Each structure stands twice: as structure tokens, then as C-alpha cells.
A and B are shown apart, each in its own frame.
Chain A
Amino acid sequence: MIAIYVCAVIAVYAALRVIAERNTMRKLPFLNVISFAVTAIIALLLPNPITIIAAAAYFVGSTLESNAIASTWAGGIKKP
């Protein structure tokens, strides 16, 4: 099972890039790579039909969080 090790190495690499990058907005693409790698690891560790729901829920949730961080950092919804 080389696939799972590839995903784990990429997750750790992306985490180091998140720490090294100073600009908050430019951290988010690296954070996105971590989400992809963790979603892949969830699916590879648990080959069960219900895993699809868990992997999708994790991925959509982490995307929504990144969306919220980026939008808030960009100024968010302007209150009247």
C-alpha cells in the first residue's frame, strides 16, 4: 500500500509549507492540499460504503471553513 504513504507524506509536506508561508491568504492553498490528503487517507484506511459520506463531509466542511476564513479576512459581508 504505497498510496497511503504518498498521501501521508504530502499532508506533512503541505503542513510544513503552511507553517513556512507568512501571508495568511497564501496559506490557504496549502491548507487545501492537507484537506485533500486527509480525505484520501480517510477513504484508504476505511474501505466501507459509509466512508464516502464521512470523506465528503470532512472535505466539504474543511472547504467551507477555508471559504469562511478567506471571506472574513477579505472583509466579510458589509453590514449596512
Chain B
Amino acid sequence: MLDEPARILIAAVLCWINFVAIDVFFKLPESGGVCGATAIAEEVEKGGGNLHGGFMLGNIVSSPDASAGTLLAACGVYCAGLPGGLFAALLVYIGNRICYDPGYAGTTGAITATFLVYGMTQVGFAASDFIAGMVIAIMTIQGISYVHSSRLIARLWDFRNRLLGGHP
């Protein structure tokens, strides 16, 4: 049985992998979903970052994506167990439609996170570890350095395109 700080850090890593993998798989770094997301990407590029990484930062700001899905699913499991997490996935789906987002990254992220968080609660973790972990994970992408995080995302985006094909 690990201490709470260690569990939060492990949860942060798992949440980070969950949301970045799903966002990159669902092509969030490809283009801006709304004109605001494109404008954020252009400002990130002007500041020394990467345009494709900027598109993903802009899309995360403009619509509930897999990161929001992971956070709300963790909140759902914390408040009401497995059904709570699946209900959170439904709310993320409605949120996507409200924000004019045609994609399914948020809903998919919420469903995978529900099973991830519920599974980890069976082996000694608490759902609250994943709530704090997700806040740490989003801070590393959005809140430390947009230059470095956008370049990191661009590298993962290139890797995805080489692995799964699709245009660069």
C-alpha cells in the first residue's frame, strides 16, 4: 500500500498517458476545431512553439476533450462508483455537442478513464488520487511552458502519423 503522494504521482502519469494518447489518436493536433482554437495555435507558433501542438492546446481550451473526460470520469467514480463514471461520459458527450465539437475524443477518454480509475480503485488506489493526478497532468501540458509542451505534442503527432499513416 503506497502513500497518498506516491499514488497521486502514479495516477498523474496514467492520466497523462490516457488523455494524450486518445487526443493524438483522434487527431486533435491536426487542425483547430473552431476559429478560436486556430487563433490560439497561431499565437503559440508566434511565441516560439509548434503549430500542431498549438492546435491541440487550442482544442483542449475550446471543447471538452479526453483530458476533460478523464477528469470528469474520475469525479464520477469518486462520487458514485462505476455508474457515476459512465454518467460523466454522457455529460462529456453533451458538452462536446454544446461546444460544436463533432469529435468523440472526450467521450472515448471518459469511458476508458472510467474503467482505468475503477480498476485502480480495486488495487489500493483511491479515485481522489486520479482527480488530483489529472489536474497535475493537465498542468504539465497547458500550464508550464506552451513552447515545450507544443513541441512535445508535435513529436507525438509525427510518431502517430508514421505509425498509423495519414498525412503529416
Contact = CB atoms under 8 A, between A and B. Distances in A.
State whether these chains interact.
yes
Contact of B128 (A1, A63, A69, A74): A1
Given A10-B135, A17-B143, A59 B61 contact: no
A73 B39 contact: yes
Contacts of A75: 35, 39
Interface residues of A, number: 49
Nearest to B41: A25
Main secondary structure of the interface of B (DSSP, over half): helix
Main secondary structure of the interface of A (DSSP, over half): helix
Interface of B: 4-5, 8, 34-40, 43-44, 47, 57-58, 60-64, 67-68, 71-72, 74-76, 78-80, 84, 87-88, 91-92, 94-95, 98-99, 128-129, 131-132, 134-136, 138-139, 142-143, 146
A31 B61 CA distance: 8
Give the residue among A49, A60, A69 with the most B Cβ atoms within 10 A.
A60
Contacts of B91: 52-53, 56, 60
Which 5 pairs from chain A and chain B are nearest by CB? Answer: A70-B36, A74-B39, A43-B75, A60-B95, A3-B132
A56 B87 CA distance: 10
B143 A48 contact: no
A14 to B, nearest CB: 5
B64 A63 contact: yes
B62 A70 contact: yes
Given A30-B142, A73-B36, A3 B128 contact: yes
A7 B136 CA distance: 8
Given A33-B138, A52-B88, A67 B80 contact: no
B138 A36 contact: yes
A52 B134 contact: no
A55 B99 contact: no
A43 B34 CA distance: 29
Contacts of B131: 3, 7, 40, 43-44
